[in-house]
Structure 1
Amino acid sequence: MSRKTPKRLSSEDEALWRKVVEKATPLTKSRPKPTPTATKPHHAPEPKPKFVPQPFTIGERAGSSETKAPAAKHAPAMDRKAFTRMKRGKLKPEARIDLHGMTLAEAHPRLLKFIHSTHADGKRLVLVITGKGRTRPDDEGPIPSRPGVLRRQVPDWLTRPPLTALVLEVTPANLRHGGEGAFYVYLRRSR
């Protein structure tokens, strides 16, 4: 089979076509008037530049060199649709623990026990309430303490052993479930 070549307009037909185009009113005003002889040359899209890791030395802090790699967005380890529903507060937590007012020494073993027991019960989404922390007006010493010790420490505990085998995702809770003072913890399926 051979390809058919497109027919070209004769000079009379082309002149007639131009008269028709000049008298026609466009449906939308944003379209430019077509010119039958003007064609754009076809260009292949430029390939995306490949990521080239920057040289580093062992012991160097991340981001201390002049050129920084762009920060990657957090890709959830769980189903994207469920992750979006969870972030919007549409999923209801199956269990919750409140660590308000506890010290780090009290909160850590209680959190471990809670995560292990809810995972053993087959629950998937739990809410860990840490509170936002408070600022003390009398804490104006030479080394000020940062508020929210539990709020900073709990996500770290959840992403380290022995809980990494049980926890699939940790993300701040929606306002309806505590906002900045709580975390959604999505657990892996129990075997």
Structure 2
Amino acid sequence: MSRRRRGLSPEDQDLWGRVVQTTRPLKSEARPAFMPDPAPIPEAKPSLRKAPETARASFRPTPSHPPPGHDLAHPLSEALARVPVQMDKRKFQRLTRGKLDPEARIDLHGMTLAQAHGVLNGFILRAQAQGLRLVLVITGKGKTVGDDGPIPRRQGALKHDVPQWLRMAPLNGIVLEIREAHARHGGSGAYYVYLRRPR
């Protein structure tokens, strides 16, 4: 026996119409599983209008700027040369020409970074206590490594760390000037360290 579907009476239809008008959708953050992903927003296309001559001239690429890429550190000798001179200008000129002889020297070759740091601190503190003004710190240029592998290693760890150590406590109040040595005294493998007068 089949059931007969009965339709809504006019009163039921009227009631259902009023119910529908008073309903509000549920606020749900969850998206139904059947909803397709929204279409990607197209990127704005550049305008093809002609720019004024003055504007076009200012946007010309300059060949002097390097292309974007790796931010390479400047060589240490360049960084030291940019530091403003603190000592007497005439003495500084004589120093850079290799005409001032260091009063003491220390060679850090063959030491680990930890050993060299302690030895350097002791040497500089003793030199200042003795009233010395110009000392030579020999670091060497560092070994050349054939294959760095995927992670490049900095050549000459001592050469790069010594200037930083000289600018840190307890030496930063004692050291007045740090410069790469003249070729007579070791060139890029050594540093002149000019000390302040003891107080």
- TM class, shorter-length: 0.5 to 0.7
- Residue 73 of structure 1: how far off its partner (Å): 5.0
Alignment of 1:77-88 (within 5 A): 77-88=86-97
Q: Deviations over 1:123-182 (max 9, x none)?
A: 000000000001122x43211211110000000110111101110000000000000000
Alignment of 1:42-191 (within 5 A): 73-137=82-146, 139-191=147-199
Q: Which runs of 5+ in 1 are unaligned?
A: 1-71
Percent of aligned positions that are identical? 60
Q: Deviations over 1:82-129 (max 9, x none)?
A: 011011100000000000111101100000000000000000000000
Equivalent residue letter for 1:86? L
Taking the aligned partners of 1:169 and 1:101, their CA distance within structure 2 comes to: 25
* Rg larger for: 2
SS of the residue aligned with 1:184?
strand
Taking the aligned partners of 2:150 and 2:105, their CA distance within structure 1 comes to: 38
Structure 1 73/128 Cα, relative in aligned 2: closer, same or farther at 3 Å?
Answer: closer
Q: Which runs of 4+ in 1 moved over 2 A?
A: 72-75
Equivalent residue letter for 2:83? H
- Residue 75 of structure 1: how far off its partner (Å): 2.4
Find the counterpart in structure 2 of residue 62 from structure 1. none
Taking the aligned partners of 2:167 and 2:126, their CA distance within structure 1 comes to: 17
SS of the residue aligned with 1:164?
coil
Taking the aligned partners of 2:145 and 2:172, their CA distance within structure 1 comes to: 34
Equivalent residue letter for 1:170? I
- Residue 74 of structure 1: how far off its partner (Å): 3.4
Equivalent residue letter for 1:165? G
Equivalent residue letter for 2:152? P
Taking the aligned partners of 2:82 and 2:111, their CA distance within structure 1 comes to: 33
* TM norm structure 1: 0.60
SS of the residue aligned with 2:178?
strand
Taking the aligned partners of 2:148 and 2:139, their CA distance within structure 1 comes to: 24
Taking the aligned partners of 1:73 and 1:98, their CA distance within structure 2 comes to: 26
Taking the aligned partners of 1:73 and 1:180, their CA distance within structure 2 comes to: 16
Structure 1 147/88 Cα, relative in aligned 2: closer, same or farther at 3 Å?
Answer: same
Taking the aligned partners of 1:83 and 1:128, their CA distance within structure 2 comes to: 17
Structure 1 134/165 Cα, relative in aligned 2: closer, same or farther at 3 Å?
Answer: same
Taking the aligned partners of 1:158 and 1:146, their CA distance within structure 2 comes to: 19
